[in-house]
Amino acid sequence: MSEASSAAATARFPTFSANLLLLKMLPWMFSGVTLLLLVIAIGEWMNERPTSAPSVWQAVPISVGITVVAWWTYRRYERHLLRLGREGVEISLCFAVLRSWNLGIFSSILFGRTRYGFIRWEELSSIEARSSIPEYPCRGRFSPALILTGNVWPILNRTSSVGDAPLADALAIQSAWITSSPSRVAAQIEPYLKDPQLRQTLPSLRETDLAAE
């Protein structure tokens, strides 16, 4: 049984996670550096070496600040990449590339007004894995990606409601952000796209908040 089918059978949202290995390594690395600086500073202070201790102590708060930002960033993006519900597909826009990308959409995501998009099943015309995405404005456009074609509606963070106008008519998720592969994810979602009755077995996104943390 596939990952998506297994989740549906247990009345949970079929969810696909983002690949955050590098983003997860950074907080631990900065935590280790902060701890090392703190140990050195305490050791020099106990050994009464005031000449070098002040410079180490000055580095500690800077390292702590970087560590806090690294953990906050990881926790912010440690969410689902895709989530399937009875009404449609919820997508994390932090990892997606919209076909009609513009500065307004970028600033909206950057400043936290919207971090998730929503495609209704009725408007999702296709989902496919491609070897390249030359028509999308991004780096690595000649690497594999998952393409979802359909109106992408923004989910407003404060109200968890769907916005009034779609952001784009298609989006791509590059393989670097997918834990398995674009073709495998497409194969797991395809049955729900083709079978309306199968979609009725999914939990409703509206029974919980859209873009639930």
Digit-coded pLDDT (tens) for 32-46: 888 887 777 777 667
Question: Which of residues 47 and 165 earns the better pLDDT score?
Answer: 165
Secondary structure (3-state) at 145 = strand
pLDDT, mean over the chain: 75
CA distance 142 to 138: 10
Could you give the percent of the chain with pLDDT greater than 90? Answer: 23
Per-residue model confidence (pLDDT) at position 119: 94
Q: Best-predicted range by mean pLDDT among 6-15, 59-68, 92-101, 115-124?
A: 115-124
Residue 194, token pair as written in the block:
């083709």
**Residue-wise burial string across 73-112, b where 16 or more C-beta atoms lie within 10 A, e elsewhere:** ebeebebbbbbbbbbbbbbbbebbbbbebeeebeebbeee
Per-residue model confidence (pLDDT) at position 33: 80
Per-residue model confidence (pLDDT) at position 9: 37
Secondary structure (3-state) at 201 = coil
* Run of H or E including 39: helix 21-46
Between 21-46 and 53-77, two packed helices, what is the crossing angle to 10 degrees?
160
The 10s digit of each residue's pLDDT in 106-139 is: 545 544 566 788 999 999 999 999 998 888 877 7
How large is the average pLDDT for residues 202-208? 78
Query: Where residue 199 falls among pLDDT bands split at 50, 70, 90?
Result: very high
Residue 2, token pair as written in the block:
């596939």
- Residue 56 clears pLDDT 80, i.e. is over it: no
Per-residue model confidence (pLDDT) at position 94: 78
Nearest to 183 by CA among 127, 126, 120: 127
CA distance 14 to 190: 13
Question: Which of residues 172 and 176 earns the better pLDDT score?
Answer: 172
Asked whether 152 and 88 are in contact (CB, 8 A), the reply is: no
CA distance 119 to 97: 14
- Residue 186 clears pLDDT 90, i.e. is over it: yes
